[in-house]
Structure 1
Amino acid sequence: MLVTLILAPPPSGKTEEPRQLSKLWGKNGELWSPRSRLPDFGWAGYRWGTEPYRMPQQRVSVKDFGAKGDGQTDDTAAFQRAIQAGKGKIVFVPPGKYVLRDILYIRISNTVLQGAGPDKTVIIFAKPGVEIDPRPAKTDGNQPTTNWSWAGGLISIGGSPTKPIDVTKVAKPQKRGDTSLTLEKNFFGPGDEILLTLRDDDAKSLLHYLYRGQPGDISGLKNWYVEQVFRVVRCEGNTVVLNRPLRFDVRAEWRPTVERFAPPLTDVGVEGFTFDFPVRQYAGHFREVGLNPVEITRFAAHCWLKDLVIRNADNGPFVSGYFCTLERIRLEADPERRSQSGNYTGHHGITFGRASDCLCRDFQIDTRFIHDLTVQSSVGCVFCSGRGVDLCFDHHRWAPYENLFTDIDAGIGSRLFASSGGDTRGNHTAGGETFWCIRTQRPVRWPASLGIDSINLVGLDVADAAQAVPVLPSPTDLTGRWCEPIPPGKLFPRNLHEAMRARNAANR
């Protein structure tokens, strides 16, 4: 009889250091509850993070519509013809270099613009946005500029606004963390997706609530509203039981309504490209000319951007909408692209603006933007598993609420919380912003500049942690500073989004 012996490796002499756990989560979420000051980030991303991208079965090639891909010929018309003919299909772009001189609009669901990979398929945007569609604008400081400075993309994904369906009022108040809504009329059944909307009153009490009573100057924020999407688990008369907790209190003065969630465009993807802009020195803040590769507008849901290299851009992707995923996005720039000061090569790197439950993961920023990662007016969005040279987590005012930055190598750490935005648009962030397992080469300080003491720092090297947060509040207290300066290399779990998603999957 043959006996196989499996020998353990000899001891290395090193003892593995124990992992450290947060008082807000524990090992597997046993310390967390829907009432926690730590929001639920487990549902962010395409199709709630529960299924792979829905890829069309049919495809067309831009070569069949006259595209050359020789780096010289203007292939814009061929791309436009291919997208028109390829509605609901994969529009494939074979290896080559394709020159585009106009905006590409993708306005039909289930359409995927697919390259052969960023090392094989290159799109050269030869004409900036301001030369195609000028879009004049002014900054909050009344400085002339163009809307391309902070929005827009030369590939534009999104539908047209549609009339709400099955609108009904919410009949009774609820608390943040509750998992049901009682409606005046119930049009819905198990499996339906619904959209809850809250609208501010004349006293701006909704904004005060979002900012946990610390709004700053909100004179420039008018007619504010917030939204959250749910899936109906079951119905008990006019009460619908929800698949996840409410992010907000639901109060009568905020005129809460529910409607069927029916986004006008879904399941559009752009993947497998290098987007290249001709090298020109970055002119500086608000002098951008629209070297912007791609946008997902707010009239879209369940869309994705994947495997993209973006070179020498004014801005990276601008993403609004619901449940969109960005993965493996790399931003880079040639040395000649640097501004005269040598500090920056663009304005915004990756931006979630008026986005809900969107996810950006596995990103890489190999240059410096004025704002590398931006959240503005976004709710429940996640940046995770990325790295950069010296990242800036830009909270751009306009009430970003309950967003997460987790498992990120932020590089140097000299400007981690540097944020911008107009002075009358509220403090830089509203409540619930969470920073979890962020690695920096130098210690950071408590981000007092964000203007609010209702955020969470866990797993950061915070130099003044003991002075800034001498005592932790209760885990269910939504106000007060929370800082657990656990060394990022020892914190478990490293990626809070993935841990929450796994917990949600286990409880479904």
Structure 2
Amino acid sequence: MMKTCSIRWTSLMAVSHLAMVTTFATAADQNSELWGVAGEKWTPTSRLPDFSQAGYRRGEEPYRIPKETISVKDLGAKGDGKTDDTEAFKKAIASGPDKLILIPKGRYVLSDQLEIRQPRVVLRGDGPLETVLLFTRPLQEIKPTTAATGDGKATSAYSWSGGLISVGGSPPHKGTKLPVTAEAKRGDLKLTLAAHSFKEGDEVLLTATDTSSQSLLAYLHRGQATDLSPSFKKVISQVFRVTKADATELTLDRGLRMDVKLEWAPTVCLFSPDVMDVGVENMGFEFPAEAYKGHWEEVGYNPIEFSQYVAHCWVRNIRVWNGDNGPFISGWFCTVDGILFGADRRRNFTGGISGHHGVTFTGSDNLCTNFIFETMMFHDVTVDHGATGNVFSRGRAMDFNMDHHKSAPYENLFTDIDAGDGTRLFGSGGAPGRGNHTAAGATFWNIRSKQGADWPEHFKLDAMNLVAMKMRGRDIKTPEGRWIETIRPGGITPPDIHLAMLQKRLAGRTPVAASATVASPAGGVQSWKSADGRTIEAQFAGLQNDQVTLLRSGKSFIVPLVRLAPESQDLARKLAGGTGSP
């Protein structure tokens, strides 16, 4: 029998944040030399990468929820834990785009993969314990595959990929790929092209491709690349919005993540994914409570995948129980917000491990926030296959693992995390011949753990940032090498550097999310109390996706709703005129 939890989900989320540092600063808090108090020490060329655009719609918009609704129960689903409801779910998904598909309270038996290949489809349950999807067959049984690990062990591709809810589309690059005609530096805001037809407001995709000498890989690893198979050829991309289009020059909305060299045959084309605004929310996934057979023995009890061809999609408020893996996110600007992993005791393998990968990012500019691991996976969170500009924030785990799985993950962030015991923080996998565990720019900021950590020597890379971690040893601040600031974990401001960067980028204008909630700052100056009892005076400016925007001294800043005391949470919802979540 599959386990059901008697603790309310809202309680679990609240408990996970009691130990987290709030965004209210104290006199004892310290600042990083990479950021300062409010970003005054940061520039686009800084060794601290820009993470401000991670997540759905770059953190600027509320989720786009379709107005037309359809219920799986209207199409024959029973939700009684016995009847196979697969066909009702497939009919709902096939009803076309622009649908909010409601999955009322119940336990729904499903025996096949659910594929979403069109935009603006949202699957919404009544809560992770109220709406539960019971998949009875793994992906290996539904769509058998053969694969091998990096050292030749036979296994299934679903050991590290695939989802029983699969969201995909066609390649997002559209039109002619135009060559870049002049070199540029990391942090630059301009690209030079020959004649083009791009205009202000277009989204464009910059792509660079490695040479036979692997000079791009050498650059991404800042000259310290190791273990490179001659067949490993790197391609790296970045998406921009065009803010100005001249005859031969594009001005971009953010700095380049990398140098642009002509030897890497850089090109620019339109970025226009055909599958966007797909959401999976407010539901649980439960899989059979079978004993976990171990690493690479997984058969595909995986809840969700977003392919590399989707953008601006989301997963929120879900529970994964007895999963082989969690979500695989390969797209662009996607968000996983509020996810809990757990397992029955009979599921556990040696050492309490119950699965392979938790949340895996292989795409770019994605965000995973508000996560809880009440079990251990071999790899709790993973960056792999060139994952770039992704963020993991505001999470809790028993003994957290930040897996860097080789293949040049670049400039990824881990911030404001309770890592529990901290005995396996940097334990990482990956196939031979795929380089170091990570390329440059990996940043670890405000990671709290019981045990102290050492620099991850097995990464064989110096170009990383470790700020406010429990470290053995002293500060190291080498401009082009290692960077360690031994600020007390939990004693740094800002505690979440991603949110601070988002706030800085949106400074000077009201965030779109806030303006969608209220027309103007409401209620005058109010007293706001943090969850640990500290107060500030500020004016309410909006509530969206459980983020409160406040105005103080003419500046806006963002506070996660869970960081506020209950009475201040109620005040924010009242001023927003509702719950604050679409």
SS in 1 for 2:242: strand
- Residue of 241, 260, 266 corresponding to 1:256: 266
**Secondary structure of 1:164's match?**
strand
SS in 2 for 1:123: strand
Q: Does residue 446 in structure 1 map to residue 455 in structure 2?
A: yes
Q: Counterpart of 1:64 in 2: which secondary structure?
A: helix
Q: Which runs of 5+ in 1 are unaligned?
A: 1-15
Structure 1 equivalent of residue 380 of structure 2: 372
Instruction: Tell me if structure 1 keeps the 8 A contact 2:195–2:247.
Output: no
Q: What is the distance in 1 between the residues matched to 2:261 and 2:401?
A: 35
TM-score (norm 2): 0.82
Structure 2 residue aligned with 1:488: 489
Query: 2:418 & 2:173 partners in 1: Cα distance?
Result: 43
Aligned-pair CA distance for 1:160: 2.5
The count of corresponding residues between Structure 1 and Structure 2 is: 484
Give me the whole-angstrom Cα distance separating, in 2, the residues matched to 1:502 and 1:422: 38
1:92 paired with 2:92, answer no
Query: Is the aligned partner of 1:36 residue 2:41?
Result: no
Partner of 1:224 in structure 2? 234
- Equivalent of residue 356 in structure 1, options 353, 358, 364: 364
Find the aligned partners of 1:433 and 1:118 in 2 and give their Cα distance: 32
- Say whether 1:384 aligns with 2:393: yes
Return the match for 1:296 from 278, 302, 306.
Answer: 306
Letter in 1 for 2:500: A
Matches within 5 A, 1:280-359: 280-339=290-349, 341-353=350-362, 355-359=363-367
Displacement of 1:488 in angstroms is 1.3
User: 2: CA distance between counterparts of 1:216 and 1:167?
Assistant: 31
When residues 363 and 221 of structure 1 are mapped into structure 2, their CA distance, relative to the original with a 3 A threshold, is farther
Aligned counterpart, 2:537: none
Q: Which residue of 2 aligns with 1:170?
A: 180
| Partner secondary structure for residue 175 of structure 2 | coil
The offset of 1:441, in angstroms, is: 1.0
Q: 2-side partners of 1:102 and 1:451: how far apart?
A: 43
Change in Cα spacing, 1:59 to 1:371, as seen in structure 2 (3 Å) is same
Asked if structure 1 preserves the Cα contact closer than 8 Å seen for 2:173 and 2:271, the reply is no
Task: Report the counterpart of residue 556 of structure 2 in structure 1.
Answer: none
1:56 maps to 66
Q: Identify the residue that residue 215 of structure 2 maps to in structure 1.
A: 205
Q: Which residue of 2 aligns with 1:10?
A: none
Matched, 1:424 2:433: yes
Name the counterpart of 1:498.
Answer: 499
Instruction: Tell me the alpha carbon deviations over residues 56-86 of structure 1, each in whole angstroms, 9 at most, x when there is no partner.
Output: 0101111111111000011111110111014
| Conservation of the 8 A alpha-carbon contact between 1:166 and 1:187 | no
Q: Residues 162 and 418 from structure 1, CA distance in 2 versus in 1: closer, same or farther, beyond 3 angstroms?
A: closer
Within the candidate set 179, 185, 196, 2:206 is matched to 196
RMSD over aligned CA atoms reads 1.3
Query: Which SS does the other structure have where 1:385 is aligned?
Result: strand
Structure 1 residue 17 displacement after superposition: 4.6
Structure 2: distance between partners of 1:506 and 1:417: 35
Query: Which amino acid counterpart does residue 71 of structure 2 have in structure 1?
Result: S
CA distance, structure 1, for counterparts of residue 172 and residue 239 of structure 2: 17
State the distance in 2 between where 1:222 and 1:184 align: 31
- Partner SS for 1:492: coil
Which of 467, 475, 478 aligns to 1:473? It is 478
Give 1:221 deviation, angstroms. 5.4
2:390–2:411 CA contact under 8 A, matched in 1: yes
- Mapped partners of 1:433, 1:162: distance in 2: 26
Query: Cα 1:97–1:320, aligned 2, differ >3 Å: closer, same or farther?
Result: same
User: Which letter does structure 1 place at the counterpart of 2:272?
Assistant: A
Matched AA of 1:126: T
Tell me, in whole angstroms, the C-alpha distance in 2 between the residues paired with 1:342 and 1:279. 17
Compute the displacement of 1:162 (Å).
Answer: 6.0
Task: State, as a whole percentage, how many aligned pairs show the same letter.
Answer: 49
Give 1:220 shift.
6.2
Conserved 8 A contact 2:184-2:261: yes
